Amino acid sequence: MTRSHSSKDIYTGVALAVLATLIWSGNFIISKGVSKQIGPVSLAFFRWLTATILITPLAWRKFRQEIPAVKANWKYLFWVSLCGITLFNTCIYFSGHYTSAINMALIGTTSSPIFATLFALLFLKEKITGFRLLGMLICISGILLLLSKGSIEVLAAFHFSKGDLWILSSGFVFAIYSTLVRKKPTDISSINFLFVIFAMGVMMLFPMFLIELFVSGPPQFNNTLIGSILYLGAGASIVSFLSWNVSIQKLGAGRTVLFGNLTPVFSTFEAVLILHEKITTVHIISGALVISGLILANTIIKKKTITA
């Protein structure tokens, strides 16, 4: 592997991971904002249905060419779809109905990197270096500082609720998804891969959607809800997942998932810009910690790859 190619892979992987988390950072805000208008399963269903419709024209030709590969790997694709599409965001949307935003962000952003690191170690045989472990711990410390606002009392008062278990489950299944994506068959293109798992995810959500529709009634559609679904379907689904998957291929599952720690950092700045909330010294320090942890965790990749 050449020096230029190695550097290009690293920078591309980092840039795509940052782009994905930047777009994903709006997911919590949107899901909270429309929670009274639409149920969690319905929101997930319409999100992925929209994503499937939008990606179909882009992926259809590849899908037809790669049908044999899709059939040969249908079991693998089923598990990827179940974890990354059907369960992941649905768990987040359920959590938003039962727990606070601080619990959601704390458990979701800190649990997924830990799970993914363990899975990468056990199943992908990825090496966990001292730099990578230290970088992960620095990222987590930054998140804890951000969410606690520098107060030990806030963390001491933390406790698990039903919603906390939902968000913990989301972190667990997303770590499984990120680990499985590392094993994506080479004969299935990235765009077709997304099309297939989106479509399969929608099909698995459909029965639960019908049940929620019967129990809770139809969603209250308006311009805000429609715009939110389009954002989730196009940006948070197609653009983010495509960027995230390519980043995993270039950086590895365990390292890429660390960039998920940027989500609450981006959410904070979005709250300042959109909701006009005040940014504090704690926000600045915690953001610096997360970014420093990411640089530290990924610097060793660059050094090893360039000298390979």
Q: Domain residue spans in the chain?
A: 3-306
Q: pLDDT digit string (tens) for 34-48?
A: 878 899 999 999 999
Average confidence (pLDDT) over 66-77: 96
pLDDT value of position 5: 44
CA dihedral 104, 107, 109, 111 (to 10 degrees): -150
Q: Bigger pLDDT: 126 or 51?
A: 51
The Cα–Cα gap between 215 and 182 comes to 38
The Cα–Cα gap between 189 and 55 comes to 13
pLDDT band at 1 (very low <50, low <70, confident <90, very high): very low
Mean pLDDT of 11-35: 84
* % of the chain beyond a pLDDT of 70: 78
Of 34, 164, 152, nearest to 105 by C-alpha is 164
pLDDT, tens only, 239-254: 998 898 888 888 887 6
The whole-number pLDDT of residue 301 equals 47
Quick check: helix, strand or coil at residue 99?
Answer: coil
CA-based end-to-end distance of the chain: 7
Q: Higher pLDDT residue, 61 or 127?
A: 61
Give me the residue label for tokens 């929209």.
Answer: 50
> What is the pLDDT averaged over residues 187-206?
95
Predicted confidence band of residue 179 (pLDDT cuts 50, 70, 90):
confident
Structure tokens at 87: 């369960």
Max mean pLDDT range (136-140, 222-226, 294-298): 222-226
Amino acid, res. 147: L
Specify the higher pLDDT residue, 216 or 270. Answer: 216
Cα–Cα dist 76/177, whole Å = 11
Q: Is the pLDDT of residue 11 over 80?
A: yes
Check residues 240 and 274 and name the one with the higher pLDDT: 240
- CA–CA gap between residue 140 and residue 132 (Å, rounded): 12
Interior angle at CA 215, CA 211 and CA 219, nearest 5: 90
Reduced to 3 states, what is the DSSP secondary structure of residue 34? coil
Q: How far is 199 from 45, CA to CA, in rounded Å?
A: 11
Q: What is the mean pLDDT of the chain?
A: 80
- pLDDT band for position 33 (cuts 50, 70, 90): confident
